Amino acid sequence: MRRSVAVIGRLVFVLTLAGATGAPLYAQRGPPGRMGQQDRTELERRVRERFGEMVKQRLGLDDEQAQRLNETVMSFQQDRMSLWREEQAVRKRVEALLLESGDNQAEARELLQRMQELRMQEARLGQTEQDKLLEVLTPAQVLRFQAMREEMGQRIRRLRGGGPGGPPGMGPGLPPGMGMDLFPER
């Protein structure tokens, strides 16, 4: 049972990163020293654990299914992070272009084209992920899973008052992965 909760806890963090919106728990904006790194790490662990329990319970998963779901979600993390980074670079360049005057038509056209390409890549990634999720979950479970992801993201966004940036197509949010050990053993 404890291993199952740890696996689901790992899944929660990935789900939160992949589908959540808001600033990272360990990188909240606000006065320095508001919350120490150790406190944030503990909070992240508790959130992951609780969300994992909810995923397992609401989807009616056994330990094997939970493990397969975790592996499936994890297999898309690197691609999501790459898309997110590319989108952030394009957004920064758009902001710079607009501040400069916005009159460079060739660069503006190139940025528009790149933004469209990123949207299409994200759509393909989402479709591929959904197809893989359907190898583990029933269609109804996939819908519940996606709703839970969205709900978690909305809660985090409300708690933090929103925030810019995030995975492509998911609105403001967290970068998946955030360059840290996503699944440390408990």
> Which tens digit of pLDDT belongs to each residue from 15-71?
444 444 333 443 444 455 566 778 877 887 788 778 878 899 999 999 899 989 988
Which of helix, strand or coil describes residue 22? coil
Tell me if 70 sits within 8 A of 7, measured CB to CB.
yes
Q: Is residue 134 part of a domain?
A: yes
Q: Is residue 165 part of a domain?
A: no
Task: Flag the least confident range among 12-16, 136-140, 182-186.
Answer: 182-186
Q: What is the CB-side half-sphere exposure of residue 35 using CA atoms within 13 A? A: 14
Report the domain count for the chain.
1
Q: Is residue 166 part of a domain?
A: no
Q: Is residue 90 part of a domain?
A: yes
Rounded (10°) angle between helices 63-74 and 37-59: 120
pTM higher than 0.75 for the full model? no
Domain that holds residue 104: 2-160
Q: Is residue 141 part of a domain?
A: yes
Rg (CA), the chain: 18
Q: Is residue 108 part of a domain?
A: yes
- Integer Cα distance of 139 and 54 in angstroms: 18
Q: Is residue 184 part of a domain?
A: no
Q: Quick one: what percent of the chain has pLDDT higher than 90?
A: 42
Cα dihedral value 94, 96, 98, 99, nearest 10: 160
Tell me if 108 sits within 8 A of 102, measured CB to CB.
yes
Q: Is residue 37 part of a domain?
A: yes
Rounded (10°) angle between helices 139-160 and 105-136: 130
Backbone region of residue 30 per phi and psi (left: phi > 0; alpha: psi in -120 to 50; beta: other values): left
